[in-house]
């Protein structure tokens, strides 16, 4: 079990919001396009996977925002010390996707190796979760690398005692001399508002701009 702390509702500044939005099951979703020109160039120059690099950067940003570490466990509101990503991979023979999970190391270079090792190990998987039991402190990242989309929705509704945290990014394209990539966040309104989502996008853009 990964470490977490229980949040006392009487001391929780989102208590009213949490109760209300949990009761109605609201999930908010936003799609924007971020500039990945620097990130793509960096990955090419360093011979690393752009997909792995993006997963690592999303992981960093998700953990930098306290609200995105909130969850429900055994009927309690909790804050995980850390949330870790599941990410989609693709069986090129069967054309089926599957979900993998790795807790990233401290650097994007270390995670690049982790990512390449685990995707190679399960490359021929024909089951959706080949690693079987996933940890509880996860959030979902998926990628649609064949499509540059304007908006994405899985039409998800927050289930009872379940917090939704989903990130989806698509194919980057050149627009006005920049490489631009669509990215969607879907997250339970019980734990986050538009402010927190805007922080996510801003911080992710800052991360992707790093040289």
Is pTM beyond 0.85? Reply is: yes
Task: Return the structure tokens found at 153.
Answer: 């929705």
Residue 89's SS3 state is strand
Q: State the average pLDDT over residues 191-200.
A: 98
* Cα–Cα distance for residue pair 144/147, rounded to 1 Å: 6
In the predicted structure, residue 18 carries a pLDDT above the cut 80: yes
- In the prediction, which pLDDT does 153 show? 87
Q: Which domains does the chain have, with CATH numbers?
A: 4-208 (3.30.559.10)
More confident residue, 76 or 155: 76
pLDDT score of 158 more than 80: no
**Mean pLDDT across 129-137:** 92
As a whole number, mean pLDDT of residues 79-87 equals 97
Residue pair 197/28 in contact (Cβ under 8 Å)? The answer is yes
Calculate mean pLDDT across residues 88-112.
93
Of the pLDDT bands very low, low, confident and very high (cuts 50, 70, 90), residue 159 is low
Strand residue runs (E) in the chain = 4-6, 27-35, 70-73, 76-80, 84-91, 96-101, 138-144, 165-170, 173-175, 178-188
For residue 161, is pLDDT > 80?
Answer: no
Q: What is the pLDDT of residue 157?
A: 54
Burial of 115 (0-12, 13-18, 19+ CB in 10 A): buried
Mean pLDDT of 48-55: 98
Q: By percentage, how much of the chain surpasses pLDDT 90? A: 88
Question: What's the pLDDT at 25?
Answer: 86
Beta carbons within 8 Å of 176's beta carbon, 6+ residues apart:
none
pLDDT at 60: 98
Contacts of residue 121, Cβ cutoff 8 Å, sequence gap at least 6: none
């Amino acid at each position: 079990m990964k470490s977490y702390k229980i949040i006392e509702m009487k001391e929780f500044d989102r208590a009213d919001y949490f109760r209300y939005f949990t009761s109605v099951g609201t999930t908010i979703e936003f799609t924007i396009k971020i500039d990945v020109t620097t990130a793509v160039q960096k990955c090419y120059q360093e011979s690393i996977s752009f997909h792995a690099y993006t997963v690592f950067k999303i992981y960093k940003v998700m953990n930098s925002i306290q609200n995105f570490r909130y969850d429900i466990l055994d009927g309690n509101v909790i804050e995980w010390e850390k949330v870790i990503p599941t990410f989609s991979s693709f069986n090129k023979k069967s054309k089926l996707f599957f979900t993998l999970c790795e807790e990233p190391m401290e650097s994007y270079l270390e995670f690049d190796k982790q990512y390449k090792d685990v995707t190679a190990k399960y490359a021929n998987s024909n089951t959706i979760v080949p690693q079987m039991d996933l940890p509880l402190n996860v959030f979902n990242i998926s990628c649609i690398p064949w499509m540059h989309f304007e908006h994405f929705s899985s039409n998800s509704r927050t289930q009872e005692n379940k917090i939704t945290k989903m990130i989806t990014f698509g194919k980057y394209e050149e627009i006005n001399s920049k490489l631009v990539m669509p990215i969607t966040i879907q997250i339970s309104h019980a734990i986050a508002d538009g402010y927190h989502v805007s922080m996510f996008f801003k911080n992710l853009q800052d991360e992707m701009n790093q040289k």
